[in-house]
Copies of this chain bind each other. A is one copy, B any other.
Amino acid sequence: MSAVQKHDVFQAIADPTRREILKLLSEKELPISEITSHFPMSRTAVAKHLQILSEAELVCGRKVGREKRFRLHPGPLSELKEWLSYYEQFWTNKLSILTHVVESQPESGD
């Protein structure tokens, strides 16, 4: 398979298992078998999650001896943060929400 980015960050973090994996890797670099020991599923399943996270470039793996160690690569989360920042005006600033609501009351005064 080529390095086509089949999965993006939004898809990658949609799965709770993958979010847990990210959290594990945020503490330290870990090999697949180690990661697997934290989940009630097979190594193959975990490896697939890791591949999806790799495609989104949220983790990167390197081979050390017979094991492959993964580490967190949080950079792409900035895309998420940027996306979020657009919506912050609608909920951190209550005034904006109010304006927003008021503006959307065309003929509801039945």
Q: Interface on A for B, CB 8 Å cutoff?
A: 10-11, 13-16, 19, 22-23, 26, 28-29, 62, 64, 69, 71-72, 74-75, 77-78, 80-81, 83-84, 86-88, 90-91, 97, 100-101, 103-104, 107-108
Contacts and interface: CB of A to CB of B under 8 A. Distances in A.
Q: Which of A15, A74, A97, A103 has the most CB of B within 10 A?
A: A74
Instruction: Please name the 8 residue pairs, one residue from A and one from B, whose CB atoms are nearest each other, closest first.
Output: A29-B104, A14-B14, A74-B91, A74-B90, A10-B14, A11-B14, A74-B87, A28-B104
Count this chain's copies in the assembly: 2
A10 B22 CA distance: 14
A80 B51 CA distance: 23
Given A23-B86, A29-B104, A69-B104, 13 more contacts: A10-B15, A10-B16, A10-B19, A13-B83, A71-B104, A72-B90, A72-B100, A74-B90, A74-B91, A77-B87, A77-B91, A80-B80, A81-B88
